Amino acid sequence: MQQSTLKKLSETLGISISTVSRALKDHPDISDKTKAKVKELAAMMDYEPNNYAIQLRTGKSNVLGVLLPYINNFFYDTFIAALEEEARKNNYTLMIMQSGDSLADETAALKHFRKSLVSGLFAAVSPVPGGYIKTCMSDELAAQMAAKEIIKKKKKHVLALFGHPHLSISKLRHESFIRTFEKLSPKTKITVDWPEQIETSHEVFLKVWKKNDKPDVVFCMGDMILIGVMRAIHELKLKVPDDIAVIGISNGLIPTMYDPKVTYIETSGFKMGKLAFEQMMNSLHNKPLQQEVYVESVLVEGGSL
């Protein structure tokens, strides 16, 4: 406990607890000689201030909350990695909780963050209510870019696989993808499905491939879908891109694990984490900031299209 440690320091040095406390805080009323003695002994005794007591007194902390729907996700893995990297540089720590997309769990987590006096909160929630600072992926642009790459290759039949249809990210990417074809290549056939996870993506591709009218390209909205599709392609011993072309939207790691590497539109969780932390610091230190910023989407060429 802080008080007992301060007491030990004061007893050893023969000075009052208040003098020790002020010396550790570099109070101007304390001489440099006394400060040096106190700090030297504090280091020898491994003195650590009671951060919780400081938080209660000031109403602030060096802890930032992170609320995500799921942690075991390729995108959020790199998002958290970027936050942790920046937090260490700026003397902050992270308190991470997941909601499982449950409103009740989100509410419970928010209460816990409030009781813990976190200085700020990174929250992945949908839809985002007004009045919050937003760091966003360019979901519509990413889907549009993927569609344009397919159109450039003059593909005739697209198998377009998206995540859960109730999620805003799935809706935005689907609407943008379809809209691009309607505008630029209305005669292209598009078969849409919503498999969401690895196993369902694997099953959907196998089912579609049994039909006579096979697609010549598959679009994967995310990494989990891509893994399932590539597993099916390998099981069927199909050659990419000769038998089936592949393009996706990805965080960046999964497409590099195949030969040839998969062409993808990068939506980087790491870049989002960096940008979100910068926004957080600007907010906490009353610096100018935008209410809504976007992480740039980038085409990364592989050999799959």
The string of pLDDT tens digits covering residues 217-239 is 999 999 999 999 999 999 999 99
CA-nearest of 222, 275, 224, 268 to 78 is 268
pLDDT at 236: 97
Q: How far is CA 71 from the centre of its chain?
A: 9
Full DSSP string of 71-121? SSSHHHHHHHHHHHHHHHHTT-EEEEEE-TT-HHHHHHHHHHHHHTT-SEE
User: pLDDT, tens digit, for every residue of 8-41?
Assistant: 878 888 888 888 888 888 888 889 889 888 888 8
The string over 246-257, giving b where at least 16 C-beta atoms fall within 10 Å of a residue's C-beta and e elsewhere, is bbbbbbbebbee
Per-residue pLDDT at 128: 60
pLDDT of residue 45: 78
pTM for this structure? 0.73
- pLDDT score of 41: 83
- Please list the ranges in the chain whose pLDDT falls under 70: 1-4, 48-60, 126-131
How many C-beta neighbours within 10 Å does residue 145 have?
A: 21
| Residue 270, pLDDT score | 92
pLDDT of residue 50: 57
Q: Which domains does the chain have, with CATH numbers?
A: 2-49 (1.10.260), 61-136+270-296 (3.40.50.2300), 139-267 (3.40.50.2300)
Torsion sign (Cα): 119, 125, 128, 129 = negative
Given this model, what pLDDT does residue 59 score?
A: 53
